[in-house]
């Protein structure tokens, strides 16, 4: 088992340079089309395959944990809750379970902790010395309807407070109105305001209407300098799905072929079951290759996913399912 885990959980030392973007080609953006039937057929075929089992499943689940952004974005967030979440980020599964799996040497941790601006300082203090990035949501999250100058100031404040990553939300109206120039300039302003911090562009795909719009918005945000493109805020009625993921991954693949820049992908919202996380990882591997199987280039926006994943790992080593309340996050 250890060999299987080592093979699937190793985070290769790949070099990921910042995405400086490209000029906007509006005619190219307008020419993009997505065949929904083909996309859905590809995703149905993926979910219809025999699932991975035993030590292979355990290895994939450990990989999923390393790519999670543990997240708390509630109106009743408190410093105590954030500190508990950070403690879980540093030790995502129990030491006893690590020993039973034989993975203590992995020094398993999550990809990042994601909070509102008010909790950035608390998270940074709780994670000091761990190397785990702190991400802050910004730009009027989740609706993105604040005045533009306030959105830029909000980014600058989070960066000044020490946030390593900024998750911005785009103005959906630009996509729905096919105003690609406005979306491009908006994203460029966000990228500039982020400075040293990596920027993840949240497309809110459930509110964009069509898969073609998802593809076009992905390309515009990457051209404007986004380091990651992300599905959802988690607050929409429809969040991450495999068809949306496939469209975004292929946009990333084509952008890499054109520019040589690897753009990250974050699936957020609605992924709460461990078995579903494996489907996303396999789709990522098949579409983009092993280089993207790293927290540098792939994340889950997770709030409840870690609990079910730890529960499945415990079932693997004990043969019995534990109660879900034994795996609370915060």
Domains and CATH numbers, the chain: 2-9+26-327 (3.20.20.70)
Q: Is 70 helix (H, G, I), strand (E, B) or coil?
A: strand
Contact between 117 and 151 under an 8 Å Cβ cutoff? The reply is no
Q: Is the pLDDT of residue 57 over 50?
A: yes
Tens digits of per-residue pLDDT, 191-233? 999 999 999 999 999 999 999 999 999 999 999 999 999 999 9
- Please compute the mean of the pLDDT values over residues 69-83 and round it to a whole number: 96
Confidence of residue 256 (pLDDT cuts 50, 70, 90): very high
- Please compute the mean of the pLDDT values over residues 161-190 and round it to a whole number: 98
In whole angstroms, what is the distance from residue 251 CA to residue 194 CA?
Answer: 23
Residue 304, CB half-sphere, CA atoms under 13 Å: how many? Answer: 9
Question: Per mean pLDDT, which range of 14-18, 54-58, 126-130, 310-314 is the poorest?
Answer: 14-18
> Which residues are part of the catalytic machinery?
167, 230, 266
Tens digits of per-residue pLDDT, 271-280? 999 999 999 9
Residues 6 or more apart from 199 whose CB is under 8 A from it? 165, 166, 167, 168, 190, 191, 225, 226, 227, 228
User: What are the DSSP E strand ranges found in the chain?
Assistant: 68-71, 112-115, 134-137, 165-169, 198-202, 228-230, 264-268, 298-302
Q: Is the pLDDT of residue 164 over 90?
A: yes
Q: Is the pLDDT of residue 9 over 70?
A: no
The percentage of the chain sitting over the pLDDT mark of 90, rounded to a whole number, equals 86
Q: Output the pLDDT for position 330.
A: 45
- Please compute the mean of the pLDDT values over residues 26-46 and round it to a whole number: 95
């Amino acid at each position: 088992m250890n060999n299987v885990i080592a093979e699937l959980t190793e985070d290769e030392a790949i070099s990921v340079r910042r995405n400086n973007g490209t000029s906007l080609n509006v005619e190219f953006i307008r020419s993009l089309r997505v065949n929904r039937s083909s996309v859905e057929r590809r995703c149905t075929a993926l979910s219809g395959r025999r699932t991975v089992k035993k030590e292979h499943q355990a290895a994939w689940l450990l990989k999923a944990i390393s790519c999670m952004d543990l997240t708390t974005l509630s109106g009743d967030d408190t410093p105590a809750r954030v500190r508990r979440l950070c403690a879980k980020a540093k030790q995502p599964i129990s030491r006893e379970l690590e020993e039973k799996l034989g993975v203590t040497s992995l020094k398993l941790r999550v990809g990042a902790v994601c909070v509102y601006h008010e909790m950035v300082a608390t998270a940074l203090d709780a994670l000091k010395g761990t190397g785990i990035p702190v991400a802050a949501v910004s730009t009027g999250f989740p609706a993105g309807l604040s005045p533009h100058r306030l959105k830029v100031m909000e980014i600058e404040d989070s960066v000044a407070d020490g946030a390593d990553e900024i998750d911005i939300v785009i103005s959906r109206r630009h996509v729905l109105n096919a105003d690609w120039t406005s979306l491009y300039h908006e994203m460029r302003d966000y990228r500039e305001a982020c400075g040293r911090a990596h920027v993840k562009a949240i497309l809110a795909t459930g509110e964009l209407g069509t898969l073609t719009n998802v593809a076009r918005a992905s390309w515009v945000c990457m051209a404007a300098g986004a380091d990651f493109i992300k599905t959802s805020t988690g607050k929409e009625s429809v969040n991450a799905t495999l068809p949306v993921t496939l469209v975004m991954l292929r946009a990333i693949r084509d952008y890499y072929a054109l520019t040589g820049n690897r753009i990250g992908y974050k699936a957020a919202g609605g992924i709460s079951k461990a078995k579903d996380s494996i489907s996303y990882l396999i789709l990522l591997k098949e579409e983009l290759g092993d280089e993207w199987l790293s927290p540098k280039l792939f994340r889950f926006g997770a709030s409840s996913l870690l609990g079910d994943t730890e529960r499945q790992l415990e079932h693997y080593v004990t043969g019995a399912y534990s109660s879900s309340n034994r795996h609370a996050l915060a």
